Amino acid sequence: MFKALGDNTRYAIYLELARSASPKTTAEIAEVLDLHANTVRPHLERMREVGLLAVETDSRGSVGRPQHRYSLAPDAPALGLEPPTWQVLAHMLADVAAFMAPEPDDVAAMSSEQGRAAALRRNGTSCVAGLVDALAELGFDPAEAHDGTVTSIAFTHCPFRDLAETYPDLVCNLHRGFVEGFVGEAGGAAVASFATLADRDPCHVELVSG
């Protein structure tokens, strides 16, 4: 995927789609980037082939061949450029969740399934290596430190920091549940402690191998 983004034109197209709140046609992308549609089309196809883009067919209100509309694939990295609508939705959902005042362990339990699913996708990888990879994919920029049987993984960047500072009990425990779910599924280690924004900066998790 990232090799496909190594081309400057493809990267520019990808950024445009990452910022867009709705799928775009080849012509729309070409117009925004001041490129010819014939230049844009093979780049879109290349990114679709490697799983970066999703394509939908729209024949409504058009004459001739149906139009293809492109957007980021569900599993594609958003590079921190999610459309503003997602940020608004995230804040609204956080408001609702905070109003319901769930217990921290209940919040963690809700996200543990995502952690288990991430571990299953990395079957065959060690617990620590897999967790570091999963956290990096989410944008936490993890940093490892080892001391005997204890591994500390610091989250040097929090992609949810805006929400976490407003709702630390909610967001940090969702993160904790993800980590606990991952470690529980991967095996080979256990979560000894999980430090959040309320504890220190950067947040971190300590794992004990065994």
Q: What is the pLDDT along the chain (210 residues), one digit of tens a residue?
A: 777 788 889 989 998 888 786 789 999 999 999 999 999 999 999 999 999 999 988 755 455 667 899 998 887 876 666 666 667 778 888 899 889 999 999 999 999 999 999 999 998 899 999 999 999 888 888 999 999 899 999 998 888 888 888 898 999 999 999 999 999 999 999 999 998 877 766 789 999 987
Q: Is residue 165 part of a domain?
A: yes
What is the rounded distance in angstroms from the CA atom of residue 87 to the CA atom of residue 70? Answer: 21
Q: Based on the fold, state whether residues 99 and 184 are members of the same structural domain.
A: yes
* pLDDT at residue 200 in the model: 64
Q: Is residue 170 part of a domain?
A: yes
Q: Where are the alpha helices (DSSP H) in the chain?
A: 8-19, 26-33, 37-49, 84-100, 104-121, 127-138, 161-166, 168-186
Structure tokens at 170: 């909610």
Structure tokens at 155: 């989250």
Q: Which of 72, 93, 123 is the last residue of a domain?
A: 72
* pLDDT at residue 48 in the model: 92
Q: Based on the fold, state whether residues 89 and 189 are members of the same structural domain.
A: yes
* pLDDT at residue 30 in the model: 94
What is the rounded distance in angstroms from the CA atom of residue 203 to the CA atom of residue 130? Answer: 19
Structure tokens at 60: 């409504």
* pLDDT at residue 63 in the model: 56
* pLDDT at residue 33 in the model: 92
Q: Based on the fold, state whether residues 22 and 126 are members of the same structural domain.
A: no
What is the rounded distance in angstroms from the CA atom of residue 162 to the CA atom of residue 166? Answer: 7
Residue 53: name the closest of 121, 117, 122, 1 by CA.
1
pTM as predicted: 0.63
CATH number at residue 43: 1.10.10.10
DSSP state letter for 66: P
Q: Based on the fold, state whether residues 60 and 91 are members of the same structural domain.
A: no
Q: Based on the fold, state whether residues 184 and 92 are members of the same structural domain.
A: yes
Cα-Cα-Cα-Cα dihedral sign, residues 117, 120, 122, 125: positive
* pLDDT at residue 178 in the model: 97
CATH number at residue 161: 3.30.1380.20
What is the rounded distance in angstroms from the CA atom of residue 79 to the CA atom of residue 15? Answer: 8
* pLDDT at residue 28 in the model: 92
Q: Based on the fold, state whether residues 30 and 91 are members of the same structural domain.
A: no
* pLDDT at residue 84 in the model: 63
Q: Based on the fold, state whether residues 175 and 205 are members of the same structural domain.
A: yes
* Domain containing residue 112: 84-209
Q: Based on the fold, state whether residues 137 and 205 are members of the same structural domain.
A: yes
Q: Based on the fold, state whether residues 104 and 146 are members of the same structural domain.
A: yes
Q: Based on the fold, state whether residues 27 and 89 are members of the same structural domain.
A: no
Q: Based on the fold, state whether residues 120 and 66 are members of the same structural domain.
A: no
Question: How many domains, the chain?
Answer: 2
